[in-house]
Structure 1
Amino acid sequence: MTTEVLLVEDDPILREALAQTLDLAGYRVHAAGSFVASKDLISAGFPGIIVTDIRMPGRDGFHLLDYARGQDGELPVILLTGEGDIPMAVRAMQEGAFDFLEKPCDPKTLLAAVERAARMRGLVMENRALKRRLTRGDHAARMIPGKSLVAQAYRDRLRAVAAAGQPVLVTGPDGANTPKVADVIRRLAGREGQGFERRVSYGLGPSDLAAAFGAVETGTLFLDEIASLPADTQFALLERLEAGSPALVIAGSYRDLAAVPGFNTDLRLQLDAVRVDIPALRDRVEDIPDLFLYYVADIAERSRVPVPAVPDGYLADLMARDWPGNARALMNEATQFVLGLEDPGAEEGLSLAEHMAQVEKTLLVRALQRSGGQASRAAADLRLPRKTFYDKLARHGLRPESFR
């Protein structure tokens, strides 16, 4: 898709020359001679980037920058001036300008800055589009992405189970993320705003179970790895369920309860009446790209970093893997992809110093991503002196401009 550039310059001759440079480089140019002339386009949700002169009659480029950032905090604005000085450049960066260039500006310098801004803007717009797509429909549609027949049947099963209002058993292979499915069910069941307790079944005594029920009241109690629930607590849970608990009880297990020695048969039958089996990734390979992008968008939002561009062939490579770790393994892959890092714990045989170096690099990368490649902000974020910060960047081969 062609990137749009709003060019604001009061000198008509220079405006035409800059517009021609951008047009020949393949950008779609909107030219304006003042802040007033550009205001309507910005307020309409401009999807591109802005290149504006600072010195203009009436409201200057700083006014335009402030207005644009007020409309869209992630809208890149490149400032141009023929009277540049250090204080003005510092002010530009402090007020959120993407870049600051002096006129007359060499075409290569201008295009390089525009290209960096366009690349960042493209990632932002892709992230927004992905979020819009993933927030359509009910909780099952939003939280369980995928177009396969397996995914559709899976979502339908979740809706039916939630509507039943009965205790639910959620099973699946290792790494299937039963807590996530429990969360989807409770939301579909209309108990999102009510109490929610997640308890690990191992070592959970009858008094602990009673306390958990008291905490959730009419909300949801999720008992993780129900196969590990002690025998006396199994009996206490069965009594609760037979009496008709006002709370929605969801039990998760990666093991077949029928094959667990000593597990209470009546409790198993009570739970097994309404059951959800989470499909393995190998059974819904065509959904892996949607699942991966869903995790990437979620992780990027929580990490406050832009969604990185997915290289050609990357999703195909993911689909070619076996994924014995299922959803959790795919989530780990997405986390490493978003942060641009290998998992520090994935490499065996590293010394403590090598592990610590990987952790340090992780923190540096995150700071640079949060600051959009602005070294001074990243250093301040990490509370490091500027020289120390640059020494660490050099040691790890990191360049701030790579994050802009």
Structure 2
Amino acid sequence: MIRQVLLVDDDAAVREALGQTLELHDFSPVTAGSFVEAKDRIASDFAGVIVSDIRMPGRDGFHLLDYAREADPDLPVILLTGEGDIPMAVRAMSRGAFGFLEKPCSPKELTAVVERALTVRGMVLENRRMKAQLEASDPAARMIFGRSPQVETLRAQVRVAGRAGTEALVLGAPGSGVSKVAEVIHLSSLLSKGPFVKRAAAGLDRAGLDIAWEAAQGGALFLDELGQLPEDTQVALSDALERGGARLIAGTTQDLRRAVDEGRLSADIYYRLEVCQARIPSLAERPEDIPVLFGHYVAQAAEQAGIEAPRITPEHEAGLMAQEWPGNARSLMSAAMRFVLGMPDELSQAKDLGLAEQMAQVERSLLAASLGRHNGRASEAAKALKLPRKTMYDKLAKYGLKPEAFKRD
């Protein structure tokens, strides 16, 4: 295994001496005389560690440390100084340095700290590799976002439902993403290569169900809001389940047990589904997941709008967590879109604006989104919005929007 060390020092003699020491101890040094020379090698996939002098002309070791931590917070950086400055050592460690050595350091000191750093680096990269492999083959980890114990339980339920291959029921509050979780169950199953057919149960007649069941052969049929399936169609569904060939995954935001007790839902269908369930926790149950979900939705909305995602401050995240989200993921998604487009994302903000001001917010957002989608080309954005070019430029000036700010490489 290549034990790579990026060695950065502006003193050629020191650089050569340290490099020889590392080579004698079976490390593989790559030397650089400055931050500018070294920076192209500093990346999240760099398999080694960094040893850098602090005092260098231009960009010093602290700048290199900050740059490395931005590229990869887990990339070990060992800093060297010839001044024996204790406050500088404290500053280095507080900013995330893996280690700190005073020059001239002994070969034993240098190689010991480099050895520890490489061991840590190897473990980090191995864990990432294993996690990437797991997520690549685990739709629940890849598609269900959050870090709370509640969402971990949901992922576990989804994996069990996927492997079981039986009929399954997904329960969740309105806006919680019932159909998405149902699809993840399908993708986690042995039938994942087969079709995933979605239908609303409300108003679905026998003929429509038969067509959907045939289309789902070799895969799964998802029926949303199963409790609203007409009684006659329930009989057809029971017949279809007996015939087999496809798997039923049902979704509901209502209490199906009550629907059975009231005679609105077939007990046979309900008990088939009851065996394997996945319940989506509401955002009120897992507020720590709100920043994770919001960040994902912001990135998604920015990509759709063709504009750069705005920075989400810790204060904004705290404000999101303090709010109630009765619409769950759906309402959080809408808030993310408004955030990306620069529209007020809280009713408390919007209510203080008059109608003209609110309309101006919307107009500015639409202009920005159109510029983003057309890579900053104002003339094309104007055509898409059906605006004369002069009117477009007048509005851009009014709102302080510069087309060049929306250009992407």
Rounded Cα–Cα distance in structure 1 between residues aligned with 2:220 and 2:360: 43
Q: Secondary structure at the match of 2:302?
A: helix
Structure 1 counterpart of 2:157, one-letter code: R
Q: Give CA deviations for 1:266-325 in whole Å, capped at 9, x if unaligned.
A: 211111111111111111111111111122222222333222111231111111122121
Are the equivalent residues in 2 in contact too, given 1:169–1:252 (CA < 8 A)?
yes
Rounded Cα–Cα distance in structure 2 between residues aligned with 1:345 and 1:314: 15
What is the deviation of 1:196?
2.2
Q: Where do 1:287-366 residues align within 5 Å?
A: 287-342=289-344, 360-366=363-369
Q: Secondary structure at the match of 1:276?
A: strand
What is the deviation of 1:403?
4.8
Pair 1:30-2:36 in alignment: yes
Rounded Cα–Cα distance in structure 2 between residues aligned with 1:358 and 1:307: 18
Are the equivalent residues in 1 in contact too, given 2:173–2:280 (CA < 8 A)?
yes
Q: Give CA deviations for 1:134-177 in whole Å, capped at 9, x if unaligned.
A: x9452111111222211111101100001000111111112212
Q: Secondary structure at the match of 1:286?
A: helix
Alignment partner, residue 277 of structure 1: 279
Structure 1, unmatched stretches of 5+, are: 1-27, 32-39, 46-131
Instruction: Quickly say closer, same or farther: Cα 1:392–1:191, change in 2 above 3 A.
Output: farther
Alignment partner, residue 395 of structure 2: 392
Q: Secondary structure at the match of 1:249?
A: strand
What is the deviation of 1:364?
0.8
Alignment partner, residue 144 of structure 1: 144
- Greater Cα shift, 321-330 or 159-168: 321-330
User: Which of structures 1 and 2 has the larger relative contact order (alpha carbons within 8 angstroms, sep 6+)?
Assistant: 1
Q: Percent identity?
A: 43
Rounded Cα–Cα distance in structure 1 between residues aligned with 2:180 and 2:243: 25
Rounded Cα–Cα distance in structure 1 between residues aligned with 2:203 and 2:169: 20
Alignment partner, residue 257 of structure 1: 256
Rounded Cα–Cα distance in structure 2 between residues aligned with 1:177 and 1:193: 22
Rounded Cα–Cα distance in structure 1 between residues aligned with 2:178 and 2:373: 31
Rounded Cα–Cα distance in structure 1 between residues aligned with 2:305 and 2:402: 20
Alignment partner, residue 204 of structure 1: 204
Rounded Cα–Cα distance in structure 1 between residues aligned with 2:188 and 2:395: 48
Are the equivalent residues in 2 in contact too, given 1:344–1:358 (CA < 8 A)?
no
Structure 1 counterpart of 2:304, one-letter code: R
Alignment partner, residue 233 of structure 2: 233
Instruction: Quickly say closer, same or farther: Cα 1:208–1:377, change in 2 above 3 A.
Output: closer
Rounded Cα–Cα distance in structure 1 between residues aligned with 2:208 and 2:249: 16
Structure 1 counterpart of 2:396, one-letter code: L
Structure 2 counterpart of 1:326, one-letter code: N
Q: Give CA deviations for 1:101-160 in whole Å, capped at 9, x if unaligned.
A: xxxxxxxxxxxxxxxxxxxxxxxxxxxxxxx99x94521111112222111111011000
Q: Secondary structure at the match of 2:314?
A: coil
Rounded Cα–Cα distance in structure 2 between residues aligned with 1:355 and 1:221: 43
Instruction: Quickly say closer, same or farther: Cα 1:259–1:367, change in 2 above 3 A.
Output: same
Instruction: Quickly say closer, same or farther: Cα 1:304–1:194, change in 2 above 3 A.
Output: farther
Q: Secondary structure at the match of 2:233?
A: helix
Q: Where do 1:106-125 residues align within 5 Å?
A: none
Q: TM-score, normalization: structure 1?
A: 0.61
What is the deviation of 1:359?
5.4
Structure 2 counterpart of 1:316, one-letter code: A
Q: Secondary structure at the match of 1:323?
A: coil
Structure 1 counterpart of 2:229, one-letter code: L
Structure 2 counterpart of 1:368, one-letter code: L
Aligned-pair Cα RMSD in Å: 3.8
- Greater Cα shift, 246-255 or 257-266: 257-266
Instruction: Quickly say closer, same or farther: Cα 1:30–1:375, change in 2 above 3 A.
Output: farther
Larger radius of gyration: 2
What is the deviation of 1:204?
0.6
Instruction: Quickly say closer, same or farther: Cα 1:156–1:313, change in 2 above 3 A.
Output: same
Structure 1 counterpart of 2:247, one-letter code: L
Rounded Cα–Cα distance in structure 2 between residues aligned with 1:190 and 1:308: 40
Rounded Cα–Cα distance in structure 2 between residues aligned with 1:229 and 1:377: 47
Are the equivalent residues in 1 in contact too, given 2:167–2:276 (CA < 8 A)?
yes
Instruction: Quickly say closer, same or farther: Cα 1:186–1:303, change in 2 above 3 A.
Output: farther
Are the equivalent residues in 1 in contact too, given 2:343–2:362 (CA < 8 A)?
no
Rounded Cα–Cα distance in structure 2 between residues aligned with 1:160 and 1:373: 47
Rounded Cα–Cα distance in structure 2 between residues aligned with 1:265 and 1:340: 50
Instruction: Quickly say closer, same or farther: Cα 1:320–1:353, change in 2 above 3 A.
Output: closer
What is the deviation of 1:201?
0.8
Are the equivalent residues in 1 in contact too, given 2:306–2:375 (CA < 8 A)?
no
Structure 2, unmatched stretches of 5+, are: 1-33, 45-130
Pair 1:370-2:369 in alignment: no
Are the equivalent residues in 2 in contact too, given 1:344–1:355 (CA < 8 A)?
no
Are the equivalent residues in 1 in contact too, given 2:307–2:373 (CA < 8 A)?
yes
Alignment partner, residue 22 of structure 2: none
Rounded Cα–Cα distance in structure 2 between residues aligned with 1:337 and 1:29: 37
Structure 2 counterpart of 1:171, one-letter code: L
Instruction: Quickly say closer, same or farther: Cα 1:41–1:385, change in 2 above 3 A.
Output: farther
Alignment partner, residue 9 of structure 2: none
